[in-house]
């Protein structure tokens, strides 16, 4: 059934509401990750397999859910969502909840800007010098550190009470876990978080793909989505175009946004279907570089729209 523009907008409005299922999912993933951390005893083959096959996907899932809390899409309350994000941090070993909130706000505010303040946008140095398979692999392995570098050096982040709360509670939890179960439990959690944010892992590949054209069949665009079999396990992380179009829609409803708005995406081919193919092509195709993410004009009043909670496409 074909909907009119008015009918489509009414459906979209219904989708723009918090989804408490994010809290239950966060608790479930955290319990699974902490339970797995108690089963490791040293740097064995089993340790690395657990990190790659289970730990990284679980940690990546917790990161994606932290984006939901960062946009107040679980409770609809800034205070409660901030607390939920801190809770979701426990099983990652790293207090990043408040940084994710800041990162996402800056990404939306400076998205597609010429002044290189978008923390999700490669720097001029990255675009110019990340060349060749070896350097590209090294770059993808260092991606979490590069993300942090972009955020810390492009912006002045104040150590406010929320960030302090995040750090204190994470430190307390880490101390209890270390004292009760040993160092390897923390090592497992931190390694899982790091690997889960490296785009060499197929669950995290969308971090590289979402604003980079790595497939020459794609139309030149600023934002790309991924529609493939990994999405259900990454809480619809691949629906990045839809996330920008409807920032007030929770992860669980992003496929519905695609169905309502998806005709233009299908027409112009602005999506990936294989994370492994995208990683392979980026690493082994010399002409594919980060330079494809050339910024255009800044969006001017995006920051004010974000502050006011508007649902304008970003």
| Residue 16 covered by a domain | yes
Cα(292)–Cα(290) distance, rounded to whole angstroms?
Answer: 5
| Residue 313 covered by a domain | no
- Provide the β-strand partners of residue 272: 226
pLDDT for res 183: 96
pLDDT for res 123: 82
Q: How far is CA 128 from CA 113, 122, 153, 280, 291, in A?
A: 18, 10, 19, 20, 7
State how many domains the chain has: 1
| Residue 284 covered by a domain | yes
| Residue 309 covered by a domain | no
CB atoms within 10 A of CB 38: 14
Burial code (b: 16+ CB inside 10 Å, e: under 16) for 213-226 equals bbbeebeebebbbb
| Residue 156 covered by a domain | yes
| Residue 59 covered by a domain | yes
- Output the pTM of the full model: 0.88
Cα(109)–Cα(118) distance, rounded to whole angstroms?
Answer: 8
Q: What are φ and ψ of residue 226, in 5° steps?
A: -125, 125
Contacts of residue 229, defined as CB under 8 A and 6 or more positions apart, other chains included, come to: none
Segments forming the whole domain that contains residue 263: 5-301
Cα angle for residues 305, 254, 215 (degrees, 5° grid): 95
| Residue 35 covered by a domain | yes
Walk along the chain (314 residues) in steps of 10 and give the mean pLDDT of each run: 77 93 98 97 94 97 97 96 96 94 85 74 86 94 89 76 95 97 97 96 94 82 90 94 93 93 68 92 89 43 31 31
pLDDT for res 268: 66
- Provide the β-strand partners of residue 226: 272
| Residue 306 covered by a domain | no
């Amino acid at each position: 059934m074909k909907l009119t523009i008015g009918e489509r907008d009414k459906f979209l409005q219904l989708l723009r509401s918090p989804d408490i299922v994010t809290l239950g999912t966060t608790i479930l993933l955290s319990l699974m990750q902490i339970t797995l951390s108690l089963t490791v005893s040293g740097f064995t083959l089993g340790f690395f397999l657990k990190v790659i096959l289970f730990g990284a996907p679980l940690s990546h899932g917790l990161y994606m859910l932290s984006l939901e809390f960062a946009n107040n899409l679980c409770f609809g309350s800034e205070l409660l969502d901030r607390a939920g994000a801190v809770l979701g941090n426990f099983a990652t070993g790293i207090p990043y909840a408040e940084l994710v909130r800041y990162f996402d706000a800056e990404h939306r505010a400076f998205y597609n800007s010429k002044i290189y303040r978008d923390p999700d946008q490669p720097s001029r140095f990255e675009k110019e010098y990340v060349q060749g398979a070896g350097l590209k692999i090294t770059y993808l392995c260092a991606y979490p550190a590069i993300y942090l570098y972009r955020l810390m050096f492009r912006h002045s982040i104040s150590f406010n009470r929320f960030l302090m709360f995040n750090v204190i509670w994470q430190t307390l939890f880490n101390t209890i876990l270390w004292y009760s179960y040993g160092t390897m439990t923390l090592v497992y959690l931190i390694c899982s978080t790091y690997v889960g944010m490296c785009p060499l892992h197929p669950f995290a590949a969308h971090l590289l793909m979402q604003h980079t054209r790595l497939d020459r069949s794609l139309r030149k665009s600023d934002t790309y989505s991924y529609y493939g079999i990994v999405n259900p396990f990454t809480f619809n992380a691949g629906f990045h175009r839809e996330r920008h179009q409807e920032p007030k829609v929770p992860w669980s409803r992003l496929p519905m946004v695609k169905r309502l708005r998806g005709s233009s995406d299908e027409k112009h081919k602005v999506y990936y279907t294989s994370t492994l193919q995208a990683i392979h092509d980026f690493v082994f195709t010399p002409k594919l570089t980060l330079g494809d993410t050339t910024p255009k004009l800044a969006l001017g009043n995006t920051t004010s729209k974000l502050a006011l909670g508007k649902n304008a496409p970003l």
